[in-house]
Structure 1
Amino acid sequence: MNFLPSISHKNLSKSSLQTNNYNLEYWHKKNRYYYESIESLYRFLVPSGQRVLEIGAGTGSLLNAVQPSYGVGIEIVPEVCQSAQEKFPHLYFKTADIEDTETEETFDYVILSDTISYFEDIQKAFKQIRSVCTDSTRLIISFHNPVWNPILQLALFLKQKMPTVPLNWLSYQDTSNLLELSGFEIIQHGSKVLLPKKFPIIAPFLNRFISPLPVFNKLGLVNFIVARLSPYESRIKYQNRLKTCSVIIPARNEAGNIESCVTRLPKMGEHTEIIFIEGHSQDNTWDEIQKVQAKYGETIDIKILQQTKRGKGNAVREGFAIATGDILIILDSDLTVRPEDLPHFFETLASNRCEFANGCRLIYPCSKEAMPLLNLLANRFFAFLLSYLIDNRIKDSLCGTKAISKVNYQKIADNRKYFGDFDPFGDFDLLFGASKLNLHISDIPVRYYPRTYGRSNIQHFKEGLLLLKMCLYAAKKIKFY
């Protein structure tokens, strides 16, 4: 089994990177049959004699196996990169991190084997990969099937798998969504390798003849996807530059976070405005908002107001009412979702890849401090329930970061009489409204962090019952109508 990443996560320390990769050859030999199976898959998907870029090249064996006319491997660890170059002098290896790398070269094929689970920001990496693609380039990705997680944990216990950092465990649906959001379209996909250990006769028979059969073709250890650049990518880039953005920030007892909301927020599109809505705080949040507006107002468009009623839902609506941007984004002022992630929402809406962007905190690893087990279980329950109600799969129902175009928000507001004023949070009014209008809804992965200032305003048990009541009400209006 694989069981070593060929590219390492940014958050790993240098010493742990070196320790893991010094053993890479050992793990490659220990799981030779698995790696040979991967090489066989890529030789089938990549014709020989092509210009090939491998991201997370590791030992360089896979890049060599596809027999490129010009092969480049990117690897984040210098020692591993140097070792691969010595082993395969006819190929070119360089130390780099694809999330921060730009190049003017283009390739016929870009391959990533067991790599994307280690990216810090998968969307950013995919967008960087676009720069090396032409209209005819094929992107090939392989990654572990999540149904194998228990077996991989057992392999780790039995020392058949190398210890790694927490991974982004991605399903096919997760990866497909990320590719679509990043400007790629999928050509084909599948799974391979039912038995990753070498058992003469049995393993070849299962992997060659049983693996492609219905049902079994969803159970392989390795998921793979072949994708290409969307044909509308050039037009989309131009459209994005012309759009404007409004970021609505409800704030209650968040004085310590207000300035960071402004200083950490990237500029998006042609113009970005920030709208703070203060909601009856017991600390000096309103004073801090006024100070921040006075400090940064000459260079940043900052609007401020105090909400007239109570609840986040009312705050969001009052903020949307004065927003002038083409794209409207909600950012929670506790900063558990990074302002730096908002461009993903903006670009997805501006490019019309989706019409309602729902923040998803359950793709990337999340600490128990940020999301305790009870919260995680409740989130998954409500995500399952809401996915059923709106006939659209969402993975995270309770993330406060959401985005919609001003035009589509106005349609929801005009149709609000259908549901009535049932949502004190604001999130579900938008989600159910978007579903009722048949808008294209997509999850946008974000990283989720513990708050660094103040305490949560959430009352878990009380609000959990309220959420359940809202779901039952929505079921009557959009499922059992």
Structure 2
Amino acid sequence: MQLSVVIPLLNEQESLKELHHWLSEVLEANGFSYEILFIDDGSTDGSWEEIYTLSRKHTQVKAIRFSKNYGKSQALHAGFAMAQGDVIISMDADLQDNPEEIPELYKMITEEGFDLVSGWKKKRYDSVIAKNLPSKLFNAAARQTSGVKLHDFNCGLKAYKRDVIKTIDVYGEMHRYIPVLAKNAGFSNIGEKVVQHQARKYGTTKFGMERFINGFLDLLTIWFLSRFAKRPMHLFGALGVFMFFIGFCFSLYLGIDKLFLNPTGRLITDRPQFFIALIAMLMGVQLFIAGFIGELLQRSSRDKKRYQIKETI
């Protein structure tokens, strides 16, 4: 099979029939053999019923229904696990991603040799203050931190080689950082394509400011994991040794001062340097222990099921 189109969704009943029709027209006009995978992330409207109807009429439509809302990353994880295509396309279900971009994305993977191609919504139809400006700041921070030079990390329209999606693990809220996860997994040939952004036609956006707060926290997480996930002692141990050394230096100074320079002066415990030394040494020991615990957890961790599938068709 040439193409798998993975579409996570939440309460997008009104757009599904139109999206499927648009997708099918484009893919069949270009002669693709394909499957369309809808991942219903706990919708409370009639989205699943609409998907079920489409699957009865069209054999290319497959779907997964979560028992509740687990988030876009979990939906993509489930869709990627189910996908059978040689090239996988991910896109949103709100009609803001244009299916007519897919043939060019496919060529960039199969003919130009990219491992992953990310869409860039250069011209957007979102609110400047509510979404565009925070998105620009977020993308700038992600580029600087990750080293992946993309303009739009959060664009839902992406194309992947099969090996990429079968290798990376999308969890938490890490769907924003799939290119970074791919790079950390050894897939360094990452491209970008300017794609057309459509104004939302139905429903309401799922965007909220908490997404950017969570996004920046996830950025710190992925920065840490990309550098220290396999060696937490290198970070916590180094910080622990540094803090302990600072505390030891203050303690040494206090001891020398009390014994040789000012034996009749204040008690050591009455001096602020004593508390600095004590706190620094305690922090050093705790950070060092945290490094050991991290090493133990890293070696004993096992994959855990992160979502519950209610129904599959």
Fold in common (TM above 0.5) = yes
The 5-angstrom pairing of residues 147-158 of structure 1 reads none
Superimposed CA distance per residue, residues 212-238 of structure 1 (whole angstroms, 9 cap, x where no aligned partner): xxxxxxxxxxxxxxxxxxxxxxxxxxx
Q: Are the aligned partners of 1:245 and 1:269 in contact in 2 as well (CA < 8 Å)? A: no
Within the candidate set 244, 250, 255, 2:2 is matched to 244
Number of the residue aligned with 2:262:
none
Q: Distance in 2 between matches of 1:385 and 1:313?
A: 20
Q: Distance in 1 between matches of 2:154 and 2:75?
A: 17
Pair member with larger Rg: 2
The alignment partner of 1:426 has SS state of helix
Q: Distance in 2 between matches of 1:347 and 1:381?
A: 31
TM-score, normalised with respect to structure 2: 0.66
Within the candidate set 276, 281, 285, 2:43 is matched to 281
Within the candidate set 47, 56, 65, 1:294 is matched to 56
Q: Distance in 2 between matches of 1:281 and 1:337?
A: 20
Q: CA deviation at 1:312?
A: 0.8
Q: Distance in 2 between matches of 1:376 and 1:442?
A: 22
The structure carrying a bigger strand percent of its residues is: 1
When residues 394 and 341 of structure 1 are mapped into structure 2, their CA distance, relative to the original with a 3 A threshold, is same
The 5-angstrom pairing of residues 19-58 of structure 1 reads none
Q: Are the aligned partners of 1:246 and 1:323 in contact in 2 as well (CA < 8 Å)? A: yes
The 5-angstrom pairing of residues 23-102 of structure 1 reads none
Within the candidate set 161, 174, 195, 1:446 is matched to 195
The alignment partner of 1:333 has SS state of coil
Within the candidate set 317, 323, 328, 2:83 is matched to 323
Within the candidate set 281, 291, 313, 2:73 is matched to 313
The alignment partner of 1:264 has SS state of helix
The one-letter amino acid of 1:287's match is E
Number of the residue aligned with 2:101:
341
Q: Distance in 1 between matches of 2:107 and 2:77?
A: 23
RMSD: 2.0
Q: Distance in 2 between matches of 1:305 and 1:411?
A: 21
Q: CA deviation at 1:402?
A: 1.6
Number of the residue aligned with 1:478:
226
Q: CA deviation at 1:341?
A: 1.5
Q: CA deviation at 1:438?
A: 4.0
Q: Are the aligned partners of 1:328 and 1:404 in contact in 2 as well (CA < 8 Å)? A: yes
The 5-angstrom pairing of residues 377-416 of structure 1 reads 377-413=133-169
When residues 338 and 371 of structure 1 are mapped into structure 2, their CA distance, relative to the original with a 3 A threshold, is farther
The one-letter amino acid of 2:18's match is S
The one-letter amino acid of 1:252's match is L
Q: Are the aligned partners of 1:258 and 1:289 in contact in 2 as well (CA < 8 Å)? A: yes
Seq. identity, %: 24
Alignment length (residue pairs): 223
Q: CA deviation at 1:372?
A: 2.7
Q: CA deviation at 1:425?
A: 5.2
Q: Distance in 1 between matches of 2:89 and 2:9?
A: 14
1:376 aligns with 2:132: yes
Which residues of structure 2 form unaligned runs of 5+? 229-234, 236-313
Q: CA deviation at 1:246?
A: 0.1
The one-letter amino acid of 2:222's match is A
1:257 aligns with 2:15: yes
Number of the residue aligned with 1:198:
none
The one-letter amino acid of 1:463's match is R
Number of the residue aligned with 1:303:
62
Q: Distance in 2 between matches of 1:269 and 1:412?
A: 29
The 5-angstrom pairing of residues 168-187 of structure 1 reads none
TM-score, normalised with respect to structure 1: 0.44
Q: Distance in 1 between matches of 2:51 and 2:78?
A: 17
Q: Distance in 2 between matches of 1:307 and 1:425?
A: 18
The structure carrying a bigger helix percent of its residues is: 2
Q: CA deviation at 1:348?
A: 1.0
When residues 473 and 425 of structure 1 are mapped into structure 2, their CA distance, relative to the original with a 3 A threshold, is closer
The one-letter amino acid of 1:394's match is L
The alignment partner of 1:353 has SS state of coil
When residues 408 and 425 of structure 1 are mapped into structure 2, their CA distance, relative to the original with a 3 A threshold, is closer
Number of the residue aligned with 1:455:
204
Q: CA deviation at 1:479?
A: 5.5
Q: Are the aligned partners of 1:311 and 1:425 in contact in 2 as well (CA < 8 Å)? A: no
When residues 333 and 425 of structure 1 are mapped into structure 2, their CA distance, relative to the original with a 3 A threshold, is farther
Q: Are the aligned partners of 1:349 and 1:403 in contact in 2 as well (CA < 8 Å)? A: yes
Q: Distance in 2 between matches of 1:371 and 1:338?
A: 19
Q: CA deviation at 1:270?
A: 4.3
Which residues of structure 1 form unaligned runs of 5+? 1-242
The one-letter amino acid of 1:384's match is A
The alignment partner of 2:168 has SS state of helix
1:426 aligns with 2:175: yes
Number of the residue aligned with 1:91:
none
Q: Are the aligned partners of 2:86 and 2:161 in contact in 1 as well (CA < 8 Å)? A: yes
When residues 393 and 269 of structure 1 are mapped into structure 2, their CA distance, relative to the original with a 3 A threshold, is farther
Q: CA deviation at 1:286?
A: 0.5
